[in-house]
Structure 1
Amino acid sequence: MQFRILGPVEMYDERTGVRILPAGAKQRALLGALVALAGHHVSVPRLIDELWGEHPPANAANALQAHVARLRRQLPARAPHPGPDAGAGGAGQEWITTCPPGYVLRLGGADTDARAFAELAARAQQAAPHTPGRAADLLRQALALWRGPALEGSVLGDICAAEAAQLEEHRLAALELLYDACLRAGRHGEITGELEELTTEHPMRERFYDQLMLALYRCGRQAEALCVYDRARKRLVHELGVEPGPVLRARMEAILRHDTALSPPAPRPAAPPATVLPAAALPTAVPLAGAGVQAGAGAGEVVLALGTEIDRLHRRIEALRLQQRQLLRRFEALTAGAGAPLSAP
């Protein structure tokens, strides 16, 4: 079971492939608030405020209880899952449990698309300094989880509004990291169109202008890169009454003087050729898994991993040769002690 909030709120049953969309804005807002605070108790007054704001009905607590009951009926039976969230009820445990005076959504073995997005983005951030191409691929996977604005159609109160704003900021940060990784990996030609759209959608975010200017310059489009700066400056002055920040100004000046620091990253040097070994000393095959290569790894990672594996094999061969010499000396000592040579087989 996956609860999805990166777009319209819905539930997805992976066992059956069925998508469950709550009917009505209040049902969506209720589920969105419970998913945003999954595992935490949410009080009745707070949920009433989330659904009705300053104009709750006279019987708001009963109306909320009815919405919770209706939402529970839409959720499929949960599979048993050991752990602190599973509760004593096993498979019969409700997704939404009553904790007077409020409710809590217990995920147990279920997941949310927001958590999956955060995990992929964290892995990409770790990979970015060393393997920017791999980081870019992970970020593409993370951003593909988005189906529209976070909690679309569910933002009635403060809980969903705050969660939607935070998730959107995380999405924009992931986009910035994605294009940084692409630029470091030499993929500037792939991203100019995407960055053009983002500077239009988010005209106050200077980082996208900066990345677009660098990508255009590396594509040999210096004049267009300078036009981007002029467009950014006019927009910032008109909307906010401020000049572009020092980072964007420095980028424009570097482009004007053709600063060598703007050049694309140099290709990684190829691994040195391995020492040729006798055929008898080599294994018949070196499985990629043994070389520490994960599925989806780039060519550079494969070369480095195979180089590490070859070094390991060299050390193993030398150890076997040393062991062979030691055994031969012991054999000769035993033969000498017996007083008569033994013929070799």
Structure 2
Amino acid sequence: MEFGILGSVQVCDARTGQRIVPVGAKQRALLGALVAKAGQVVPCERLVDELWGEHPPANAANALHAHVARLRRLLPVPAPGPGTRRHEGLVTRPTGYVLRLGGTDTDARRFTRLAAEGRALLAADPARSARLLREALALWRGAALQGSGRGAICSAEAALLEESRLVALEALYDACLRAGHGREITGELEELTIAHPLRERFYELLMTALQRCGRQAEALLTYERARRTLVHDLGIQPGPTLRHRMQAILHHHDPDGSLDLDGPGPHPGPGGSLGLPVRPEPATGPAGGVPGRAPGDDSDVTLLREEIAWLRRRVERLAQEQQDLLGRLDRLMLREASGLT
């Protein structure tokens, strides 16, 4: 038997193949809270709050007991665990109730095990890492604890599981990049940056995938999209990882060392292959510093500001040329349509 909370709350009986879904939000909230705290005694007060929030019934203890009794009748009796003669799944304790898993499992625990195994293989075997992570993510049927209300226990568990899912997704696409499958994942990463616009790691992975496909201009536009979103929504600039990736793209270098972008490829020629200005390299003094600036001054900050200003001009120029090209295409299509008519 397996309890499922990676989606709507349900119980799968492996002996019969039957899937049991509690009817009613309170039954789902009760089962979801008990599964989330499996093996722990959940106090009655917390369960009352989970089911009714700030408006409990007059006799909340009796109402809770009635829901527990109905849930017991709904659930199949799990097999005894190792070394035990009898196993009762939902047990009453003096202060509350506890769901004892015994020989059963939960899809959330299976997901956690598979995701951890996949992340552990990320560097050594990225192809197998990606397979394990996809297997883990395939266990999700929807939002965690979907339809279980907004009680404190279910809400907190759903948030933790969702964060674990996003971390597993980040590891999956990292593994795909390490395995050389950047072209296959750009579309999925585009969707993830739209679905999670404040998660910088998805932008960084997308920029890396685009860079390794030779689509540096699109990678730079992705950075600018991330920067504008972060500034608009959070009032912050992109973090160091995203900035380092942007710098790597500007210098045609892969900081992971897995791809040499200095050889033949879609690099801008004199004046820029897309009509963009070539970035001037800062002059250096005898020791590699900037002439006229003493060590320890604000030269690094100044250079960074110049770099950002140059990047903005470059991206704006590219965006304008893209709009011009689209306008020309529209005009050509209109002329062709007019000729046909």
TM-score by length of 2: 0.74
Partner of 1:173: 167
Cα displacement string for residues 46-95 of structure 1 (whole angstroms, at most 9, x for unaligned residues): 11011111110001001000100111111113223324xx5x5x2xx321
Partner of 1:237: 231
Alignment of 1:226 onto 2:220? yes
Runs of 4+, deviation exceeding 4 Å = 262-266
Question: How many angstroms apart in 2 are the aligned matches of 1:67 and 1:48?
Answer: 11
For the aligned residue pairs, the C-alpha RMSD in angstroms reads 1.4
- TM-superposed deviation, 1:106: 0.5
Report if aligned partners of 2:126, 2:178 keep a CA contact under 8 Å in 1: yes
Decide which structure has the larger Cα Rg and report it: 1
Report if aligned partners of 2:245, 2:255 keep a CA contact under 8 Å in 1: no
How many equivalent residue pairs?
Answer: 260
Question: How many angstroms apart in 1 are the aligned matches of 2:21 and 2:254?
Answer: 54
Question: How many angstroms apart in 1 are the aligned matches of 2:120 and 2:235?
Answer: 37
Which of residues 137, 148, 152 is equivalent to 2:142? 148
C-alpha spacing 1:264/1:186, structure 2 compared with 1 (3 Å): farther
Unpaired segments ≥5 residues, structure 1: 267-345
Question: How many angstroms apart in 2 are the aligned matches of 1:261 and 1:71?
Answer: 55
Letter in 2 for 1:68: V
Partner of 2:40: 40
Partner of 1:77: 77
What SS does the corresponding residue of 2:63 show, helix, strand or coil? Answer: helix
What SS does the corresponding residue of 2:19 show, helix, strand or coil? Answer: strand
1:265-344 alignment runs, 5 A limit: none
C-alpha spacing 1:43/1:260, structure 2 compared with 1 (3 Å): closer
Report if aligned partners of 1:6, 1:113 keep a CA contact under 8 Å in 2: yes
C-alpha spacing 1:260/1:19, structure 2 compared with 1 (3 Å): closer
Which of residues 199, 208, 233 is equivalent to 1:205? 199
Letter in 1 for 2:27: Q
Question: How many angstroms apart in 1 are the aligned matches of 2:88 and 2:209?
Answer: 51
Unpaired segments ≥5 residues, structure 2: 261-341
Partner of 1:306: none
Partner of 1:60: 60
- TM-superposed deviation, 1:155: 3.2
Report if aligned partners of 1:186, 1:265 keep a CA contact under 8 Å in 2: no
Letter in 2 for 1:28: R
Letter in 1 for 2:3: F
Cα displacement string for residues 99-128 of structure 1 (whole angstroms, at most 9, x for unaligned residues): 112111010000000000011011112211
- TM-superposed deviation, 1:262: 5.9
Report if aligned partners of 1:121, 1:174 keep a CA contact under 8 Å in 2: yes
Alignment of 1:121 onto 2:115? yes
